[in-house]
Structure 1
């Protein structure tokens, strides 16, 4: 199996797992492209987003740009009740992406849910760096 396809499938599965575990209608795993060849620059733009999204929720929220949930600044302008994200980092600590979840219900993630989001982020990092 092509490793690139496997990574994409694994990230999609992790996004689905995050949405289910956190009881949110949408979860994303976003990867950024760096402006430096060595990966130490700032994020220029999103290169890939793995998305798990409830179809009915997406249809009832046509104004939400799901691809922008990987950017906390952009996500905060979308008037979501819940938005939580954890940076995805490479080995030197540089941010290479974001794992995020969102929904209508205005709530904060519990400590246990935040821990789950952090674990999903660690798994996503392992998949990317494998």
Structure 2
């Protein structure tokens, strides 16, 4: 199987798992292309995007631009009850992407749910590390 297809499949499964565990209708994993200039303020290009989105939630919320929810800056304009994100950082501490979840219900993630988000982040990084070896 092609490595990129395998990575996309694995990230998609992690997005679906994370959404289920967090009871959120949306979860995305965005990975930036590694070719960006360090210290640049330019928007980075994306090399991988995996998202789980409940189709009924998307249909009930046509005002939400789902393609913008992977970016915390863009998601802030979306009028969501819940939006939580974590940066994905490589071993050198550089931000290489974002993990984000969203939903209608106005709530903060519990400590346990933040642990789930961190676990999905760690699994995402493991998948990405495995794709480079």
TM-score by length of 2: 0.89
| Inter-partner Cα distance in structure 2 for 1:26 and 1:35 | 27
1:70/1:97 contact within 8 Å kept: no
Are residue 58 (structure 1) and residue 51 (structure 2) matched?
no
Matched residue, 1:6: 6
Are residue 74 (structure 1) and residue 74 (structure 2) matched?
yes
Partner SS state of residue 100, structure 2: strand
Per-residue Cα deviation, 1:7-65 (whole angstroms, up to 9, x for no partner) = 000000000000000000010001123522xxx45452333320111101111112222
Kindly report the root-mean-square deviation, in angstroms, between the aligned alpha carbons of the 2 structures: 1.3
Matched residue, 2:36: 35
Runs of 4+ more than 2 Å apart: 33-36, 40-43, 45-48
Structure showing the higher strand proportion among its residues:
1
1:49/1:67 contact within 8 Å kept: no
Unaligned ranges ≥5, structure 1: none
Unaligned ranges ≥5, structure 2: none
Q: Mark the CA change 1:56 to 1:50 in structure 2 (over 3 Å): closer, same or farther.
A: same
Per-residue Cα deviation, 1:40-95 (whole angstroms, up to 9, x for no partner) = 45452333320111101111112222222221111111010000011111121111
TM-score by length of 1: 0.91
| Inter-partner Cα distance in structure 1 for 2:97 and 2:69 | 11
